[in-house]
Structure 1
Amino acid sequence: MNIRILSRLVLAAAPLVAAVSCAKEPTDSTYSSSKKVLEAWLNINYPDISPSGRGIYVIDSRPGTGQAMDDSSVYVFVDYSITDLEGNYVETTDETINRRLGTYVASNYYGARVMVRKDGQLYAGVEDMLDMMNVGGYMKAVIPSWFLNSDVYDEVEEYYANDPGGSHYIYEISIKYATDDIEQWEKDTLESYSRKYYDGLDSLMEGFYYKVLNVGTGDTIPNDSTIYIRYVGKLLDGHVFDTNIRDTAKKYGIFDDSKDYDVPAKVKMSSSASGITLESSTVVTGFGETLFRMDNNQEVVSFFSSDMGYGASGSGNAIPPYSPLVFHVTIVEYDEYE
């Protein structure tokens, strides 16, 4: 599943089959052909429907009671589904639908994602839907192919003239939350998590929380040492995206037969958090800061903002953009594995 099907930055190539089958320079005839296909479908399925916004077709909507999506609502948290005109799912954040379709993957995240309404990151058709919605609202609309163009135009006629062709899609969007300050949202979310699970633990630095759960031997780990760890990585809602603990992997359905769970992960320490490596690879800032503070045999938990994790990009299908992360880490007796 790839949230970027909603955005200008990637949707020009997604879904891939449609993009490949219609790879051609946009022309007036492209728009005319696309328009005929859409009009024929609408005449059969929704003969009385009229266009809204710049030209999308709203099939169903339920008003929300929250704030309207004005220009200050830059970051919008949404659940969504996308189908073609035949009703075949192209993409959805709905776990139940993915299970029904046989596309469910336990390590993938299913839930609200952040859509960014700036720098031309969303298609015109998606923007039109959001413009007509409030937080808590729902909308189902047909977005014509010419409003799924990867370019931004001032005039509607320019979208017609630059229709990339391909398919028209039906989008269903539910807005869960919106903010103009994603950093403040993350700060508030982390503070709430701290109060709920760790008695209001204070951050050690902006956006970084750290708590020792088991002091271990308390021995300081020398710089440039090699240590071994067991860890669990998850999101604040409890979604486990990675672990090297066999039972935990099985419990959360992310067990990987190709992974050696018998040997803990090898960490090369350093004189700074940024120099620490895991299995010879660099680690995200928050994880490095966690390891750097640990003593021998300690068990700790840390949680931190996305700018110390995977930031605005996220990581694959497991970690959405702007996701604070949680890590439980235990240093094991590393000398016995040398």
Structure 2
Amino acid sequence: MMKKILGLLFIASVIFVSCKKDVRTLQQIQDEQMQAFMKQNNLSGFQKDTSGYYYKVINTGTGNALTYPDYVFYLQTLKDLNGNTLKLQGDQTPTIENGAYLANYLGYVSPKGFRENIIKLHKGGSIRAIIPSYLAYGKDGFGSQVSGNTILDAIFSVPNVSNSISLADSLITKYKATIPLTFTRDSSGVYYSILTPGTGTDLITTSSTIKVAYTGKLFDGKIFDSAKSTSPLESPLYGLISGWQSTIPKIKTGGKIRILIPSYLGYGSSAQGAIPANAPLDFEIELISTKN
């Protein structure tokens, strides 16, 4: 009888030890995967945080240090270890490349692995992190976009701004430097470049009905909407976004204009079609006709 009891105790202890080992297994396996990923991609200069993620501060930033009570504006790009960009909101996903920003009190930024990296920065800083799933979206993942136990390769950037207007202006200023055109900032905050002034004589007001051909892009180059001259958009100017209302009157019928619109003069904090919330917009517009 005693032998049977001792045998059962031995089996129970083995099961207990095995269970304890299983709890650690995911952390151990993912740590090995993260190290292998960094080695395979020649990523150097990363430090391991005690929480379990690896990080490298790209730029500390020259602004104020961040603290948990702060309301922060930030941009992020998330990838898996295969290099696939993770689109948590599908086409409406904000990324560093498209310039759509996120905003929240730092203490409420989630998941944990995100806020722990962001708080390492000053305003104006950026950081890259390899984040294990248990500090990201866990075993359940995120909808159909992120499968369970996915390790993230993330970049976070915190602009050195204090409000959404100055943030939008800084994003456009950086973006327009990549375009070989001269832009002028109007009083509303839109940047514009007149490509062709046009020859029409009609006075254009917000009450005018216009026909336009246009192409609309995000700052990552993705076209989200367009209309050709053979099938133009027709609308009263007052029915269009504010960024159009202030700039279309700067050209005449037959004219063309390129405009860079801050999000607050576009669709603001509401996502629209393939446009993420808080996304700046790039339009090239040809004014085909005007009717008053």
TM-score range, shorter chain: 0.5 to 0.7
Task: Give the counterpart of 2:286 among 296, 310, 330.
Answer: 330
**Following TM superposition, by how much is the alpha carbon of 1:70 offset from its aligned partner in structure 2, in angstroms?**
1.9
The equivalent of 1:175 in structure 2 is 156
3-state SS in 2 of match to 1:74? strand
Larger Rg: 2
The answer (yes or no) to whether the contact 2:75–2:94 under 8 Å persists in 1 is: no
Cα RMSD for the two superposed structures: 4.4
- The separation in 2 between residues aligned to 1:116 and 1:128, in whole angstroms, is 16
**Following TM superposition, by how much is the alpha carbon of 1:309 offset from its aligned partner in structure 2, in angstroms?**
0.9
The answer (yes or no) to whether the contact 2:112–2:135 under 8 Å persists in 1 is: no
- The separation in 1 between residues aligned to 2:220 and 2:86, in whole angstroms, is 22
**Following TM superposition, by how much is the alpha carbon of 1:90 offset from its aligned partner in structure 2, in angstroms?**
8.6
- The separation in 1 between residues aligned to 2:243 and 2:230, in whole angstroms, is 26
- The separation in 1 between residues aligned to 2:85 and 2:275, in whole angstroms, is 20
The answer (yes or no) to whether the contact 1:82–1:89 under 8 Å persists in 2 is: yes
- Report the residue type matching 2:115 in the other structure: E
1:331–1:45 Cα change, 3 Å: closer
**Following TM superposition, by how much is the alpha carbon of 1:172 offset from its aligned partner in structure 2, in angstroms?**
2.0
1:237–1:130 Cα change, 3 Å: same
The answer (yes or no) to whether the contact 2:95–2:101 under 8 Å persists in 1 is: no
- The separation in 2 between residues aligned to 1:46 and 1:222, in whole angstroms, is 62
3-state SS in 2 of match to 1:57? coil
- The separation in 2 between residues aligned to 1:198 and 1:313, in whole angstroms, is 30
**Following TM superposition, by how much is the alpha carbon of 1:284 offset from its aligned partner in structure 2, in angstroms?**
1.9
Task: Give the counterpart of 2:224 among 238, 241, 251.
Answer: 241
Task: Give the counterpart of 1:116 among 96, 103, 108.
Answer: 103
**Following TM superposition, by how much is the alpha carbon of 1:234 offset from its aligned partner in structure 2, in angstroms?**
2.2
- The separation in 1 between residues aligned to 2:267 and 2:22, in whole angstroms, is 41
**Following TM superposition, by how much is the alpha carbon of 1:313 offset from its aligned partner in structure 2, in angstroms?**
3.9
Q: Where does structure 2 lack aligned partners over 5 or more consecutive residues? A: 1-19, 35-47, 139-146
- Report the residue type matching 1:290 in the other structure: T
The answer (yes or no) to whether the contact 1:230–1:264 under 8 Å persists in 2 is: yes
The equivalent of 2:40 in structure 1 is none
1:222–1:185 Cα change, 3 Å: closer
3-state SS in 2 of match to 1:126? helix
Q: How many residues align?
A: 238
**Following TM superposition, by how much is the alpha carbon of 1:266 offset from its aligned partner in structure 2, in angstroms?**
1.6
3-state SS in 1 of match to 2:267? coil
- The separation in 1 between residues aligned to 2:235 and 2:290, in whole angstroms, is 10
Task: Give the counterpart of 1:42 among 15, 27, 35.
Answer: 27
Q: Does 1:284 align with 2:244?
A: no
Report Cα offsets for 1:228-287 as digits up to 9, x if no partner: 211111234544332223xxxxxxxxxxxxxxx742112234xxxxx33xxxxxx32112
The answer (yes or no) to whether the contact 2:94–2:101 under 8 Å persists in 1 is: no
The answer (yes or no) to whether the contact 2:263–2:279 under 8 Å persists in 1 is: yes
The answer (yes or no) to whether the contact 1:75–1:116 under 8 Å persists in 2 is: yes
**Following TM superposition, by how much is the alpha carbon of 1:208 offset from its aligned partner in structure 2, in angstroms?**
1.9
3-state SS in 1 of match to 2:115? helix
- Report the residue type matching 1:70 in the other structure: L
Q: Does 1:190 align with 2:172?
A: yes
3-state SS in 2 of match to 1:297? coil
- Report the residue type matching 1:116 in the other structure: A
Q: Does 1:57 align with 2:41?
A: no
Q: Where does structure 1 lack aligned partners over 5 or more consecutive residues? A: 1-34, 94-102, 149-165, 246-260, 270-274, 277-282
Q: Does 1:138 align with 2:125?
A: no
The answer (yes or no) to whether the contact 1:139–1:172 under 8 Å persists in 2 is: yes
TM-score, normalised by the number of residues in structure 1: 0.54
Report Cα offsets for 1:36-92 as digits up to 9, x if no partner: 976342345548x9x956xx421x333434239623682222322257xxx896925
- Report the residue type matching 2:234 in the other structure: K
> Identity over aligned residues, as a percent?
17
3-state SS in 2 of match to 1:227? strand
Q: Does 1:227 align with 2:223?
A: no
- Report the residue type matching 2:86 in the other structure: E
3-state SS in 2 of match to 1:190? helix
Q: Does 1:67 align with 2:61?
A: yes
1:314–1:179 Cα change, 3 Å: farther
